Structure 1
C-alpha cells in the first residue's frame, strides 16, 4: 500500500471525530431527496455550461474563507446594508442563480430544512465530479450565517508570492501541500486580463517566468498598453484541457505556462515545486488529495446546532 493511500485512509478514519458537528447524510431523515435534488440541478446546468464547475469552486472558496462556510457570500446588498458580494474579489462571481434554483426546489420539498451553505458545498462537489474530478462524500449540517460584511473580505490575491499566499491558508489551518492542492482547482478556472497584464510584454512588463508563446497568446487576447482589449476579457487558467478536472494545470505550470503569478510560482518555489511535480506525474494522487482538502475546507468555522439560521431565500436573511 502506498504512503498516500495510508494517509488518506487515516484521514477518513478520523473524519467522524474531526467533523463531529457535521455528518454525511445529515438530511437522510429530514429531507431524503436533498442531495439528489442538488445533483440533478447541477447536472442540468453542466450540460449547457461547463464553466459552472469553476463558478461553484470559486464561490465555495470565497464563502468559506470569510466567516467560514456559512453562505454569507450569497447575501445581496440592500439599502443601508452592504454584503460580501460587493467586495472586489467577488464582483465577477457567477452561479448564484443556480443556488437560487436549487433552493427553490428544496423549499418546496422540505421547507426550512436545507441550508444555503450546504447547497453550495454539495453543488460544488457534484460539479467537480461531472468535470472528471474525484467523487467524494461531504458531511452536511451547516447552518447559514447572519452577517455579510464586505469589509471582512480579505482573500489571498493572484499576485502574491507562495510565502505570502500560504500565510492566508495557514491561518485557516491548512498545510502548504493542501494549499498547492486547492489551487489545483485552477485546472478548470479562469481569470481576467486585468489580473494578468502586469506579466505581459505587450503591457511593457515581460515576465521571464512565462513561456514566450503564452505571453504572445495572452497579448493577442488582452491587447497592449496603447490598445487594451475592451471589457476585460476572460482567460482560462488551464490552456489545454480548460473544462476538464485533471492534473494538466500542474503540467502547464511546470512548463512555464502558468497564467497567474501565484500559479507559476508554485512550480518555481523550492517549498512547493516537488508537490507540483508529483501531481503533474500522478493525476490520481492529486484527485485524492483534492477530495481531502475540499472536505477540510468545507468544515471551516461552520455554524451548527441552533447557531445561525436556515434561510428560506439564500439572498436575504430571514429577518430582512
Structure 2
C-alpha cells in the first residue's frame, strides 16, 4: 500500500508540472537546443542503458543514490552542467580537487564512468558525459521512490575544469538562509528552488565532522545548537563523540534515509535537521512557509523538485565550439 501511495504521488507530481507550464515556461523548455529526443536516431536505446547500469550500481550500494545526485548539483552549480567535475587532473588542479568537492563520494564518479562505458559500446562518440550525469540523477531519484521527469538532452562536455572556479559557488553545511539564497540566486535559482533542492537531503549520509560544531561548539556561549531536538542531539552525540574519527557517518534523514520523500521537511519542523543549512530553512522565518508546504504535501514537494531540477539542468549548457563529446569522462579529448 505504501509503495502504491508513493507511486501515485510521483505521478501526480509530474502531472502537476505539466499542467502548470505556462507559455513562457514552454518556450524555455528545450532551451539551448536541448530536447528529450536529442539522441532519438543516434542512440535510441540510451535511456534504457543508463537505467540498467544505474540500477545495477544502486543494487551494489545504496550510496549510489545520494552520490550521483550530489555530483549533478556540484557539477551544474560550477560553470554549468558540463561534466567538468568528472575530470581527473594529474596536477590536482581540476574542479574535483577543490576542498569544496572533497565530500563527493566515489560511487557517483564510478556510476557515471560505468554508464559511459556501456553507452560507448552501443553508441560510440555520440553521448556526452554531461547528459549521462543528468539522466543518472533523474534515475537515482526515481529508484528511491521519488518523482520521474523527462530529461532534456543535448549538452556538450566542457573544455575547462579548474579547482579555483569552485570557491563560493556551492552551499556549505554552516550557511544560513540568506547565504544559501545568495548562492542559488547567482545561478539564476530562486529561494523556493533552494528549499526544494535541499530536499535531496532526504537521502544519503554525512560524516560527523560536517555537523559536530552544532553539538559541541555552537557559539562562544552555547555548546549545543538550541534548534536541535534534544533526543536527536543525544543520539548524534552517541554516534559522534568529540574525538570521533573521520570515517564515521550518520544518515541525513534518521527515519527514511533510503527513500526519496518529504519526511526531510517534517524533520525540520521537529528539530531533526542535521546541518545548520538544513535546520535554518525552518528556524529562520523567511523560508518557513515553503518548508511547511512541502512537509504537508509530498506531491507539492515532488512538483517543485522536478521544476528546480529542470532549471538546474539548463545551467551553463555548452554547445558548438564550447564543448565536446568526451571519449572518457575523466579526461579531455585533447
Please indicate the TM-score interval, normalised by the length of the shorter structure. over 0.9
Against the structure 1 CA distance between its residues 255 and 45, is the aligned structure 2 distance closer, same or farther, given a 3 Å change threshold? same
Q: How does 1:70-85 map to 2 (within 5 A)?
A: 70-79=82-91, 82-85=93-96
8 A contact 1:189–1:237 mirrored in 2: yes
Corresponding position: 1:25 with 2:37:
yes
* Segment drifting more, 138-147 vs 16-25: 16-25
Distance 1:100 1:7 in 2: 31
Gap runs ≥5 in structure 1: none
Distance 2:165 2:125 in 1: 27
Corresponding position: 1:60 with 2:78:
no
Against the structure 1 CA distance between its residues 197 and 267, is the aligned structure 2 distance closer, same or farther, given a 3 Å change threshold? same
Distance 2:65 2:310 in 1: 16
Q: How does 1:87-106 map to 2 (within 5 A)?
A: 87-94=98-105, 95-106=108-119
Alpha-carbon displacement from aligned partner over 1:3-58 (angstroms, at most 9, x marks no partner): x9777534375455213311012100111111111011011112232221100110
| Residue 201 (structure 1) shift | 3.8
Alpha-carbon displacement from aligned partner over 1:34-86 (angstroms, at most 9, x marks no partner): 1111011011112232221100110000000101000000000114x611111
Distance 2:22 2:312 in 1: 15
> Which position in structure 2 is the counterpart of 1:35?
47
Distance 1:102 1:164 in 2: 35
Distance 2:25 2:155 in 1: 16
Misfit runs of 4+, over 3 Å: 4-8, 12-16, 201-204
8 A contact 2:75–2:81 mirrored in 1: yes
Corresponding position: 1:158 with 2:143:
no
TM, length-normalised to structure 2: 0.89
> Which position in structure 2 is the counterpart of 1:9?
19
Match of residue 59, structure 2, among 15, 32, 47: 47
Against the structure 1 CA distance between its residues 14 and 30, is the aligned structure 2 distance closer, same or farther, given a 3 Å change threshold? farther
Gap runs ≥5 in structure 2: 1-11
* Segment drifting more, 177-186 vs 99-108: 99-108
Distance 2:223 2:328 in 1: 46
Alpha-carbon displacement from aligned partner over 1:184-223 (angstroms, at most 9, x marks no partner): 0000032211111111048872110001111111111111
Q: How does 1:84-233 map to 2 (within 5 A)?
A: 84-94=95-105, 95-154=108-167, 155-201=170-216, 205-224=223-242, 228-233=243-248
Distance 1:98 1:164 in 2: 31
8 A contact 2:16–2:303 mirrored in 1: no
Alpha-carbon displacement from aligned partner over 1:104-141 (angstroms, at most 9, x marks no partner): 11112111110000010000101100001001101000
> Which position in structure 1 is the counterpart of 2:7?
none
Distance 1:200 1:313 in 2: 43
What is the SS of the residue equivalent to 1:166? Answer: helix
Against the structure 1 CA distance between its residues 279 and 38, is the aligned structure 2 distance closer, same or farther, given a 3 Å change threshold? same
> Which position in structure 2 is the counterpart of 1:267?
282
8 A contact 1:197–1:222 mirrored in 2: yes
8 A contact 1:143–1:310 mirrored in 2: yes
